[in-house]
Structure 1
Amino acid sequence: MAFTRATGKHRRASRSARTTRKLAGIATLATSGVVGTLASPALAATDAARTQDTGLTQAVVLGDELAHRLEVQADAQQAAAETAAVQAKAEAEAKKRAAEAERHAEAARKKAKAEREAKERAARDAERKRLNAFVAPVADSYVSTGYKASSSLWSSGSHTGIDFHAATGTSVHAVGAGTVVEAGWGGSYGNNIVIKMHDGTYTQYGHLSSIGVSVGQTVTPGQQIGLSGATGNVTGPHLHFEARTSPDYGSDIDPIAYLRSHGVNV
């Protein structure tokens, strides 16, 4: 690295340079005759005087050499100090940039973590909503026989559930999430399924032509559990649906009110 002195600052001439200029001035005076007059007594000087003059000159030369060495040393020290200062500044800048990069990286990590956690929460909420959702047991159908309708067709004298219009082979779905507690022949209900719902209530699906689940199996809202049919005590194919407080016959509650309370429009 090159170093230059600031503009306008000049080092004082070295002692050897000053001595040289003095000798040059004396030589000039000698040519003009001034020194000739003044130097006459000096020509009579003894050898001892000349010896003293020689010793003085040697002292001046040695002093100039020492001054030059000290000057070189000072310049080297200054250059080393300036180099160290530049290096320290560069290291400080590098540390500053590294710290800034680490701050940005940490911010990015926190943002990514927050986004990941937000997505996980959204997924959990969506799954919770899906599991808590209810659907109609037969899609795009209607109630053909209402709850508590009177008829001699039923041993109790009234209808304990509701009938959904459905041709044989129509897909039957679990209305909500739960666990199958009965899957098989149910007497006058024909092939039937009973599910214990997550809220502690029970739902029943009767007169099925086919059963697609088994006892102990968990089901989710809208999952196909069987196909509608005309098994058991019926006059034609349909789906008999009940809502109950227990898995047993006689604990029925209004299935339309039950479905509507869970957001199903029937």
Structure 2
Amino acid sequence: MAFTCATGKHRRPSRMKRTTARAAGVAALATTGVIGTLAAPALAADNSAENSVEQTGFTPVITVGDTIAAKIDAQADAQKEAAEEAALKKAAAEAARKKAAARAKEEREAKERAARAAERKRLNTFVAPISNSYVSTGYKSGGSLWSSGSHTGIDFHAASGTTVHAVGSGTVVETGWGGSYGNQIVIKMNDGTYTQYGHLSSIGVSVGQTVTPGQQIALSGATGNVTGPHLHFEARTTPEYGSDIDPVAYLRSHGVNV
């Protein structure tokens, strides 16, 4: 039995017909230049699944809402703020590092200056040639014991083997046997004067050697023309015998309590 498609004004057109009609309407709109707001009512009103890409051939356009756009902007602002804050922290850390380095350098230089000043002071200091001793025979004492008729230096009480110190900074210019002085050392001081140490049992420095205040240079003894062990000490204007000056006054002028 054959079936025929019933006709009537109330029967809905088939899907193919509807699609064909819509396509014709779209073509007409494209030809006339009419925008989408003037589309046929059936095309504008139908929001069902039949308006899908498969049916119309058009790709839908998604419009981002104001709320989502605001969230994106806020996130971008937050990221920018975080980056700026990180840059500020990095700059502050670098500035702090440089400041600490500069402070450490200043402290190091201050310590070095203080050390140099202390060393200069030490080198300009004078000490007694024998520690914890006293003058047993004074300067210019007279008697037959001295060929010149008087004592050209002072004698410090000291047993044999007592440490003898350089009284100040200088350079050794003479060592060895000195006749009636026995074993002796002569030092040219940095101030241009000379000091002499006699009757030594041993000598611990050599000519040309520099010495500093308090440095051990010899051991006391009883060599040469003596009646017993002691240290003979002289201050001179030249390295030679006969240029002697008052050794007590010399030591006291350099701060040594004799």
State the TM-score bracket (shorter-chain normalisation): 0.7 to 0.9
Change (3 A) 1:70 1:78: farther
Q: Please give the secondary structure, in 2, of the residue aligned with 1:144.
A: strand
Deviation string for 1:47-89 (max 9, x for gaps)? xxxx999813534679xxxxx9564265554443322211110
Which residue is equivalent to 1:115? 107
Is residue 55 from structure 1 mapped to residue 40 from structure 2 by the alignment? yes
Deviation string for 1:27-47 (max 9, x for gaps)? xxxxxxxxxxxxxxxxxxxxx
Q: 147-156 or 188-197, which moves further after superposition?
A: 147-156
Q: Please give the secondary structure, in 2, of the residue aligned with 1:225.
A: strand
TM-score between both structures, scaled by the size of structure 1: 0.74
Match of 1:233 among 217, 225, 231: 225
Cα distance in 2 for partners of 1:74, 1:137 equals 98
Which residue is equivalent to 1:128? 120
Cα distance in 1 for partners of 2:46, 2:81 equals 42
Q: 148-157 or 178-187, which moves further after superposition?
A: 148-157
Cα distance in 2 for partners of 1:141, 1:60 equals 126
CA RMSD of aligned residues (A): 2.6
TM-score between both structures, scaled by the size of structure 2: 0.76
CA positional deviation for 1:152: 2.2
Q: Please give the secondary structure, in 2, of the residue aligned with 1:72.
A: coil
CA positional deviation for 1:137: 0.4
Which residue is equivalent to 1:206? 198
Q: Residues 118-197 of structure 1: matches in 2 within 5 Å? A: 118-197=110-189
Which residue is equivalent to 2:5? none
Cα distance in 1 for partners of 2:249, 2:142 equals 19
Letter in 2 for 1:231: T
Q: Please give the secondary structure, in 2, of the residue aligned with 1:204.
A: strand
Which residue is equivalent to 2:94? 102
Structure 2, unmatched stretches of 5+, are 1-21, 26-37, 48-59
Q: Residues 7-86 of structure 1: matches in 2 within 5 Å? A: 55-56=40-41, 58-59=43-44, 69=61, 71-72=63-64, 77-86=69-78
Cα distance in 2 for partners of 1:123, 1:88 equals 52
Letter in 1 for 2:41: L
Letter in 2 for 1:153: L
Higher helix share: 1
Change (3 A) 1:126 1:76: same
Which residue is equivalent to 1:44? none
Cα distance in 2 for partners of 1:122, 1:61 equals 96
CA positional deviation for 1:160: 0.9
Deviation string for 1:153-210 (max 9, x for gaps)? 2122111110101111111111111111001001111100001111111100001111
Which residue is equivalent to 2:9? none
Deviation string for 1:104-136 (max 9, x for gaps)? 111111111111111111111121111111110
Percent identity between matched residues is 70
Cα distance in 1 for partners of 2:45, 2:135 equals 128
Report how many residues are paired.
Answer: 214
Which residue is equivalent to 1:34? none
